[in-house]
Structure 1
Amino acid sequence: MNPVTPIPPIPPADAHGVALTERVIASVEAGPHRPILNYGPWAGPWLTGEPEPLPPALLAEAVFPSGRPLPPSLRRWLSFDAGLLRRFGWLDGDGRFTPRSLGELALDELGDLWGSCFDTVSDRFDECFLLPGGSDSRRVLATGVADAHGEYPVFALDVDDIPCVELMYPGLDVYLADTCGLLTIEGDGYSVLAADPVYSRRMLTHAHHVFGGEFAEECLPDL
C-alpha cells in the first residue's frame, strides 16, 4: 500500500475567511473535476467545465434577499465560480439568490415525514442554502448573526434517532476547506470543531447566538 500523505497544517493567519478560501480555490484548480464527495448525490465534480465567476458588477452589488451581507468567503468563491452553488439551488439563471427557510429546505430534501420536524425552528432560520454532504443528513448554511470573520454558520440536519439541527462549521470558509480535504479534524460528532483550538471561538460565538450556548437543538413536530 502507498503511504498516506499527511495534510500539512494551515498557518493560523490563513485559517479563516478569504485567506482560507484562497487555499480552497487553489486546491480546486489543481483538481477541478474530482468529486466533491465520494458518495451519494454529492459525487459530482467541483467544476463541470471552466469556472463560471459571477460577473463583477453583479457581485459588487450582491447581498442576500434579507439585506444581510455576503460572507467574505462566499464573495471570494463567487468571484471564482458560481456554477457549483447554482447547481445546488443558491442562484437563479440571473445570478439572484434563491434561499429557502429551514422548514422549506427540510421538506424538499427529507420529505414530509422527516422534513416536517424542522417546522418548529424554521422561523429562526429564515434564509438557508443547501450544501453538499450527508447521506440521511443534510448540510445547510443559514444567514443571521455573523461571527468576527463575517461568516455565517453551517448546520447539519440530522434525522437519525431524534431529528435535530446541530452546528457543524463556523462558516462556508471552513466547510469548503474540510470538504476539499485541506483540514484534519480530530474527534467524532457534528460539532467536533467546538473543541478545535483554531475554530472553537467561532463555534462558541454561533452557538451563543443560535442556541443560547448549546450546539444543537432537537426538532420534534408539534403534536
Structure 2
Amino acid sequence: MNPATPNPPSSPGDAHGVALTERAIASVAADPHRPILDYGPWAGPWLTGEPEPLAAGPLAGAVFPSGRPLPPSLRRWLAFDAGLLRRFGWLDGDGRFTPRSLGELARDEFGDLWGSCFDTVSDRFDECFLLPGGSDSRRVLATGVGDEHGEYPVFALDTDDIPCVELMYPGLDVYLADTSGVITVELDGYSCLARDPAYARRMLTHAGHVFGGGFAEECLPDL
C-alpha cells in the first residue's frame, strides 16, 4: 500500500498545489466546525464561525517578511480563510505575517531546555510557522527554496531521545489534504511520503535543498 491513499483525484494534477488545496477546502467547507484533529490542543474546529478570507487587495501583493513568495496553496487557502492560521500565530491583527526562527518556535513550544537544541539549525530555518499536529512533536512550515509547484516543506520537530527536524510533507497543499481527510497517509516514520509515487519527487527535491539529500537532521545544543 502506498503511504498516501487518496480519495481519487480527477487527474494527476489534482494531487498537487492549488488543485489539491481546492480539494482540502471543499472537505473543510463541507463540515467547517469539525475538529482539525482529535487530540490535544489541535482538537479545536477548522473554523470558529464563518470563513475569514484575507482581502483580495492585500493578498494579491502579499509576500513573507523575507521577501519570499507565498506558496500557491497558502495564497488559495487565505482567499478561503485566514482565521485558522491567525489562531496559530501566522498573522497579526492587521494581516501581517509573524514568522519565527526554528529556535524561537521550538523554545515557545518545548521550553528553553529542549527548544534550545534547535538553535543550531535556525540559520537554515529562519522563517517558520506552526501548524496543528503532533502530541509531543510539532509540525512546522519553513520557507526557503520552493519545489516544482512553488511549495515549501513542512517538517516534524521531535524531542524524543535525540531532538531532530525531519521532512514530513512536501508542501502545505499535502499537509492540508492529509489533515482534512482528502488523502490518508499510512505513517511509517515522518518522511514516509518519500516512498509515495505521487510525492517522492517533491520530497527528494526538498531533501536536497535542506539536508543535502537526507530527510532529517539531529539537533544537538552547542556545548
TM over 0.5: yes
**Residue 176 of structure 2 corresponds to which residue in structure 1?**
176
Confirm whether residue 9 of structure 1 aligns to residue 8 of structure 2: yes
Letter in 1 for 2:172: L
Structure with more contact order per residue of length (Cα contacts < 8 Å, sep ≥ 6): 2
Give the SS at the match of 1:50. coil
Gaps of 5+ in 2: none
Flag the 1:84–1:186 CA change in 2: closer, same or farther, 3 A: same
**Residue 3 of structure 1 corresponds to which residue in structure 2?**
none
**Residue 118 of structure 2 corresponds to which residue in structure 1?**
118
For 2:12 and 2:210, locate their aligned partners in 1 and report how far apart those are by CA, in whole Å.
26
Give the SS at the match of 1:44. coil
Letter in 1 for 2:8: P
**Residue 86 of structure 1 corresponds to which residue in structure 2?**
86
**Residue 65 of structure 2 corresponds to which residue in structure 1?**
65
For 2:97 and 2:119, locate their aligned partners in 1 and report how far apart those are by CA, in whole Å.
22
**Residue 130 of structure 1 corresponds to which residue in structure 2?**
130
Flag the 1:187–1:41 CA change in 2: closer, same or farther, 3 A: closer
**Residue 205 of structure 1 corresponds to which residue in structure 2?**
205
**Residue 158 of structure 2 corresponds to which residue in structure 1?**
158
Gaps of 5+ in 1: 1-5
Confirm whether residue 188 of structure 1 aligns to residue 193 of structure 2: no
Aligned residues: 218
For 1:212 and 1:127, locate their aligned partners in 2 and report how far apart those are by CA, in whole Å.
19
Identity value in percent: 85
**Residue 109 of structure 2 corresponds to which residue in structure 1?**
109
Flag the 1:128–1:182 CA change in 2: closer, same or farther, 3 A: same
Cα RMSD (Å) of the superposition? 1.0
For 1:185 and 1:128, locate their aligned partners in 2 and report how far apart those are by CA, in whole Å.
23
Flag the 1:79–1:142 CA change in 2: closer, same or farther, 3 A: same
For 1:186 and 1:130, locate their aligned partners in 2 and report how far apart those are by CA, in whole Å.
22
For 2:194 and 2:21, locate their aligned partners in 1 and report how far apart those are by CA, in whole Å.
20
Letter in 1 for 2:127: E
Give the SS at the match of 2:181. coil
Letter in 2 for 1:46: W
Q: What do residues 49-97 of structure 1 show as CA deviations (whole Å, max 9, x unaligned)?
A: 0000000001011000000000000000000000000000000000000
Q: What do residues 16-40 of structure 1 show as CA deviations (whole Å, max 9, x unaligned)?
A: 0000000011001100000000000
For 1:207 and 1:112, locate their aligned partners in 2 and report how far apart those are by CA, in whole Å.
28
